[in-house]
Amino acid sequence: MQPFVLEPLSDDFARALVRAVGRKIEARSLPALVERVSRKYLGEKQALAKPDELAARALFFLPRDVHKVVAPLAELSRSGALAARPLRVLDVGAGVGASSLGALLALSALGHSVAHVRCVDEDHEALALLRKVFDALRADALIELASSALSVGAGSADGANALGAPGNSEPWDVMLVSNVLTEVLRSEDARSEAPRDEAARAERVAQLVLSLVHGAPLAEDGALVLIEPAMHADARVLQRARTIIESSGAFVFAPCTHGGACPMLVRERDWCHDDVSVDLPPWLHEVARGAGLRYQGLTYSYLTVRRSAGRVKKHDAREGWVSARMVGAVRETKGKREVFLCAEEPGPTEAREPLRAMQLDRAIKGAAETVPKLGDCARGELVALDPALLPNEGEGRTVRLGVSDWER
């Protein structure tokens, strides 16, 4: 099952964003600004004037990052794990509004209505621009959210004053924490003398997530979507945080299809992340090229946390089949395609390397359109397997896919 994606933002969005930013940025200046913001996100020191940084974030990073919450929200929706009532959305570290806008567009496309969006951040200038962005999008009928259904305010992702505006104490149905915790940890590390290792960073991430889940709080049937960059270090921290979160009274709904040990932590070189096939809109291709950034595909890592038990499954899988996630890119080798899979396996739950799924080209030669082909799949996809394919304890880690024993 391919991840649910939205179309790249249209030219109408580009015009509304330019109006919201409210100042002329020369086309030839934007790539350099984008490159410097990108370097800042990677932890490099950059002397950037605040208005320039905010303009680059609204004109480039927002249209790119808007898509990062889409597939995680679609997994919740397709599994029936989002409440049917009009949803209250809290965006923590909202910046100029990428995740809130992504959630609004995705939830509407998935048939949900949104009652309220609250955006909090410690940066009031970013929030002021966020408001302008939403006003411009509303004026051009690109979003339906009424002005009174959006609130912004100072708030911290570190749990101390997560959100706290009066009148906002009702639980939240959806919480978004997108590309924020890396920044929180980086600023904490800058203030500390001893750098933290992966385990200590994971402890802190789990603590921050749990303080939002219980403190904000998240509704009993709500979901928190945590997005981080698809970087080796950040993604492994999420994978480790998953175990801590699960042993502390919350549940990880996705990306993991099972509660066993994480196979992506066994080999130091692995990290779990998605690569979704959504490109930057054409109006940003030149900017991306000029800034040395990619314009094809979108990568990120994520965890979806809930207060109620339940895990993501391929929603239309055959009864009794096992859902599995593709945790690598599909590789073409001589006469076959291969990909790493993460799935619930029979036997003990200690950590094992990911499964290696393989499909021989000759097995599908001339096969009907409806036969699932590994070559059509991509990292991050959910598939379903006949449980008979899974190795028993002590057997090899290769799963041979045929034509009717698995489905996309």
Ligand X SMILES: C[S@@+](CC[C@H](N)C(=O)[O-])C[C@H]1O[C@@H](n2cnc3c(N)ncnc32)[C@H](O)[C@@H]1O
Q: Which residues bind ligand X (CB under 6 A)?
A: 65, 93-95, 98-99, 121-123, 126, 156-158, 178-180, 183-184
Nearer to ligand X, 180 or 383 (CB): 180
| Phi, psi of 350, rounded to the nearest 5 degrees | -70, 160
Q: Which residue, 190 or 388, has its beta carbon nearer to ligand X?
A: 190
State the minimum distance, in angstroms, from the CB of residue 260 to ligand X.
Answer: 30
Least distance in angstroms from the C-beta of 72 to ligand X = 12
Amino acid at site 374: L
Contacts of 284 (CB under 8 A, 6+ apart): 60, 63, 64, 295
Residues 305 and 251 sit within 8 Å (Cβ to Cβ):
yes
Name which of 141 and 190 has its Cβ closer to ligand X.
Answer: 190
- Shortest distance, position 248 Cβ to ligand X, whole Å: 21
Q: Output 102 or 263, the one with its CB closest to ligand X.
A: 102
Shortest distance in whole angstroms from residue 223 CB to ligand X: 16
Tally the residues of the chain.
408
CB of 227 to ligand X, least distance (A): 6
Smallest distance from the beta carbon of 28 to ligand X, in angstroms? 25
- Least distance in Å: CB of 300 to ligand X? 9
Nearer to ligand X, 120 or 357 (CB): 120
Nearer CB in complex with ligand X: 158/274: 158
Query: For residues 68 and 178, is the Cβ–Cβ distance under 8 A?
Result: yes
Smaller CB separation from ligand X, 275 or 338: 275
Closest CA to 76 of 196, 293, 179, 223: 223
Question: In this complex, which beta carbon is closest to ligand X, that of residue 181 or of residue 364?
Answer: 181
Tokens of 277: 């096939």
* Separation between Cα atoms, residue 190 and residue 185, nearest integer Å: 9
In angstroms, the CA 202 to CA 225 distance is 16
* For ligand X, the closer CB: 158 or 338: 158
Is residue 286 a contact partner of residue 205, using CB atoms and an 8 Å limit? no
Closest residue to ligand X, based on beta-carbon distance = 95
From the number of C-beta atoms within 10 Å of its C-beta (0-12, 13-18, 19+), residue 52 rates as: middle
State which residue, 124 or 294, has the beta carbon closest to ligand X.
Answer: 124
**CB 299, min distance to ligand X, A:** 14
* Single-letter residue type at 303: L
CB of 189 to ligand X, least distance (A): 13
What is the closest distance, in whole angstroms, from the C-beta atom of residue 39 to ligand X in the complex?
A: 13
